[in-house]
Amino acid sequence: MTSPLQSIKVLDLTRLLPGPYCTMFLADFGAEVIKVEEPKLGDYARLEEPKIDTESAIFSSLNRNKKSVTLDLKSEEGKEMFLELVKNADVLVESFRPQVMERLGLGYETLKKLNPKLIYCAITGYGQTGPYANKPGHDINYISYAGLLNLLGERNRKPIAPPVQIADVGGGSLMAVVGILMALQARNQTGKGQFVDISMLDGAVSWLQTTLPNYLVDQNLPNRGELPLSGEKACYEVYETLDQRFLAVGALEMKFWVEFCKAIEREDLIEFLDSPPYKQTELKSEIAQIIKKKTLAEWNEVFSHYDACVSPVLNFEEVTNNEQIQNRQMIHEVSGINGKQIGNPIKLSETPASIYANAPKLGEHNKEVLENLGIKNK
């Protein structure tokens, strides 16, 4: 079966999460992704616990379908080998701070002279320009500068750090995938590569489409826990059940709210869907008392008869066994691949993603990749 990116060769100099997650998407859709790692240590994610075989679970997941080549980019020999790889590459992805590649003599301006068709993607915290360009940071810093962290959590309590990396993945990895694919399409039209500058802070700011545009119009600052989709309304809330489990309610629209009120046998509450904040607080208290009277299983049975946008809050054991997750193959075992894998969420009818190779051992493909270029690996 033809894969949409099967003719694309990618050099991946990234480590840990944002870059490897980006290049995993490219590899799943057929790109030849060559992971260029420093000798001996390689990607730090290899060291995490627990392990699948000899590699960490997170490394095995993020680096499936890739090849590993070890090069010391600080040595002349390593640089020469790397430049040979660049000559035949379509895409290069790196996640160093700005100017690191330039100091190595391997910056975009140098590489594009060697390969004018090269698409060079740099994923950084703050981008290549601006006063923060060389500041260190992690996901929590990027979402704090974006104003996103300030909105996470309950009213009158401190912001809560999210358990997933919003800026790293949503603002970095996925924006990089989109940028690379658009640059490839542009190259099809112009024959030229280009520099793709991805800032995780920029990406996090771009996620604020349901809140920031309102502020730009009326200059009214939103408050934590007082937004319709973050705890203000009783119809969009998490409630505790009798057995200390939780029920997620998303009955935002009137048609769903009506069904919800019928299910909890409180049709007298229907008229208060869009009531002011003080009434919403009262509603939440009343509803919390009602939901507390049944177990999660009992409420699941009740709401199975109503289209109310209500769901159980699942743990990972339940997620992996969930019928919808299994049907969509978002957690599945692949013959010949170590451990269970998180599936690819992009479903193409004619050229689907494929998991066909385990994450590589450090330097596993040195001989294959370098000798194919006529380079004798020492």
Q: What is the mean pLDDT of the chain?
A: 96
> DSSP for 242-282?
TTS-EEEEE--SHHHHHHHHHHTT-GGGGGGTT--HHHHHH
Q: What is the pLDDT of residues 239-264, one digit of tens each?
A: 999 999 999 999 999 999 999 999 99
Give residue 190's pLDDT: 98
Mean pLDDT of 144-169: 95
Domains of the chain: 9-207+344-372 (3.40.50.10540), 236-315 (3.30.1540.10)
The 10s digit of each residue's pLDDT in 316-349 is 999 999 999 999 999 989 999 999 999 999 999 9
Burial of 278 (0-12, 13-18, 19+ CB in 10 A): exposed
pLDDT band at 2; cut points 50, 70, 90:
confident
Q: Say if residue 103's pLDDT is above 80.
A: yes
Q: Output the DSSP codes for 69-118.
A: EE--TTSHHHHHHHHHHHHT-SEEEE-SPTTHHHHTT--HHHHHHH-TT-
What confidence category does residue 376 fall into, taking pLDDT thresholds of 50, 70 and 90? low
**Beta-sheet strands, E only, within the chain:** 9-12, 32-37, 51-52, 55-56, 66-70, 91-94, 119-124, 195-199, 236-240, 246-250, 310-312, 331-333, 340-342
Q: What gap in Å lies between CA 166 and CA 168, rounded to an integer?
A: 6
Question: What mean pLDDT do residues 348-366 have?
Answer: 96
Token pair for residue 114? 């060697």
Going by C-alpha positions, the residue among 35, 53, 51 that lies closest to residue 43 is 35
Active site residues: 138, 168
**pLDDT tens-digit map of 174-226:** 999 999 999 999 999 999 999 999 999 999 999 999 999 999 999 999 999 88
Q: Which residues pair with 9 in a beta bridge?
A: 32
pLDDT category at 18 given cuts 50, 70, 90 is very high
